[in-house]
Amino acid sequence: MPKFHLDGREIEVAAGTTFLQAALDRGLDLPHYCYHPALSIPGNCRICLVEVEKAPKLLTSCSTEAAEGMVVRTDTERVREARRGVMEFLLINHPLDCPICDQAGECRLQEYAILHGSGVSRFEEDKVPKRKRIEVGPHVLLDEERCILCTRCIRFCREITGTDELDLFERGDRTVIGTFPGRPLDNLYSGNVVDICPVGALTSREFRFRSRVWFLRPTASICAGCARGCNIWVDADREEIARLRPRRNDAVNGHWICDVGRNGFEYVNRPDRLLCPLMRGEGALAAAAWKEAVDRAAEGLRDVKDRRGGDAIGWVVSGRLTNEEAFLVRRLAGEALGGGRFALAEHEEGEDDRLLLRRDRTPNRKGVTDLLFSGDGGPAGIEALAAGIRSGAVHALVVLKEDPLGADPGGGLDAGLLDRLDLLVVADIFLTPTAERSGVVFPAAAFVEEEGTYTNFQGRVQRARPARRSPGAGMPGWMLLTLLGRALDADFPYRRAEEVTRAIGAAVPAWADPIARLEAEDPVALRVVRGGRAA
């Protein structure tokens, strides 16, 4: 492992480490545009030049590997002059309209112009005119005049997705990026080119001019779009979720997320969310207080248990439940109600792709299966509960974040079967067709509003955090189940989600190590600094 001096400090790095990588790993923010840790290194932007003792000229820190005994300086007058020159060239044809640019506030060109530019332009000629607002794909817009030709987007489509939609066209100061005729930028990961664009050249059609980034509040969480469990930043503008961005985790999703997860959150902002509990009276559902609704549900469940036994109560659970919710369902059914029949709905589409997206479109099927169906030969489907209702074995049903009568897989459950039940309790974020037929409806929290953990398809337990409160009187599932447990005289002392997380580790031996590892690697309090980077 070579040792070299970086700005007067001796450091030791692995063989093959470049100056830029060594600097970034140690918190030194060397300016760079074209470099990205997951892409090849073209060394074309030249802003990362450094001075190396005994070298005849400045060297690109992104492509020069450290060797034993080298002396590297990143802040000499020669280096500063080179950076000023690079910035001057980049700004010659770049529009100077930062206040109206959608990238303002998170633009590397803007930041480096202040930190490394001269502040004065010697350019008096007319700028080369280039096109604006070009629809290069269903999710991405291109402003040619803002592009600095770093080629990050081209390399992403060539090296990561392998789809090659983007390339350089024309020559000299008229060079632009673009797509080939008849080949739009429509791969499942196209939104990542917006994330890695260091300027405002590539912008998201969904987020463009939706909010200023300095109004956004980033929260470290987990994508609920599939079983991968990609790490994400959830950016909220006041109480509206504005966008999702990838959060680096080399063991799960690297630097990327798919467009299915990125753009699949808009439903949480819909105005028709359930805002309060509902109870059926005089044949119709009407608004109710939480205590009143919890007591009605608990009374109905207790009545079915006393008359028919705990196994007469069915539970339709979802792979969208957190581990904490699944654990409390297990405790509630087993300890407070003396048993129960569980069914897990299927949500599978197509096949796994070669990069991130999984066929299973729920974030926690594995965790729910491990906590509720271990040792039972795998999860039962909804059709088993439907058969139980037909045979008269099931008289009550609790449906959590599923809609057997709606778009979700019904598994043989129809309105006629639900009408046979003595009690139907539903927790969901919308008044679904299933909820419309229930006796008690609870407003649930969406994935961006819940704290808890998910277990991805690899068996990795990961923590999700709420980016906002649920609208109205909506409540996270673990809180609802805790209230139900207390109403049924169970010992549910939990006041915070992390208390339930620790209870899983204490009660289920196989979960002790994963929970302990989670507490060490991803504690509840994760400090967030400017730009949505975890510290």
Tens of pLDDT along the chain (535 residues)?
899 999 999 999 999 999 999 999 999 999 999 999 999 999 999 999 999 999 999 999 999 999 999 999 999 999 999 999 999 999 999 998 999 999 999 999 999 999 999 888 888 888 999 999 999 999 999 999 999 999 999 999 999 999 999 999 999 999 999 999 999 999 999 999 999 999 999 999 999 999 999 999 999 999 999 999 999 999 999 999 999 999 999 999 999 999 999 999 999 999 999 999 999 988 899 999 999 999 999 999 999 999 999 999 999 999 999 999 999 999 999 999 998 999 998 888 778 999 999 999 999 999 999 999 876 567 888 899 999 999 999 999 999 999 998 865 556 788 999 999 999 999 999 999 999 999 999 999 999 999 999 999 999 999 999 999 999 999 999 999 999 999 999 999 999 999 999 999 999 999 999 999 888 887 765 433 333 433 2
Residue partners of 372: CB distance under 8 A and separation at least 6: 317, 326, 329, 330, 342, 344, 379
**Three-class SS state of 476:** coil
User: What ranges do the domains of the chain cover?
Assistant: 3-75, 278-510
Residue (of 327, 326, 330, 307) closest to 318 by Cα position: 326
Residue (of 374, 417, 376) closest to 399 by Cα position: 417
Beta strands in 32-83 (DSSP E): 49-52, 59-60, 71-73
**Three-class SS state of 158:** helix
Residue 450 carries which DSSP code? Answer: -
Residue 524 carries which DSSP code? Answer: S
Residue partners of 188: CB distance under 8 A and separation at least 6: 161, 258, 259, 260, 353, 355, 357
As a whole number of angstroms, the distance between CA 23 and CA 248 comes to 19
Do the domains 3-75 and 278-510 sit in the same CATH topology, yes or no?
A: no
Q: What is the CATH architecture assignment of 3-75?
A: Roll (3.10)
The mean pLDDT of the chain is: 93
Work out whether the CA dihedral 218, 219, 221, 225 comes out positive or negative.
negative
Q: Does domain 278-510 have CATH number 1.10.150.120?
A: no
Q: What share of the chain is helix, strand, coil (3-state, %, to 5)?
A: 30, 20, 50
Give the Cβ contact number of residue 276 at 10 Å.
Answer: 16
Asked whether the beta carbons of 271 and 202 are under 8 A apart, the reply is no
As a whole number of angstroms, the distance between CA 347 and CA 429 comes to 18
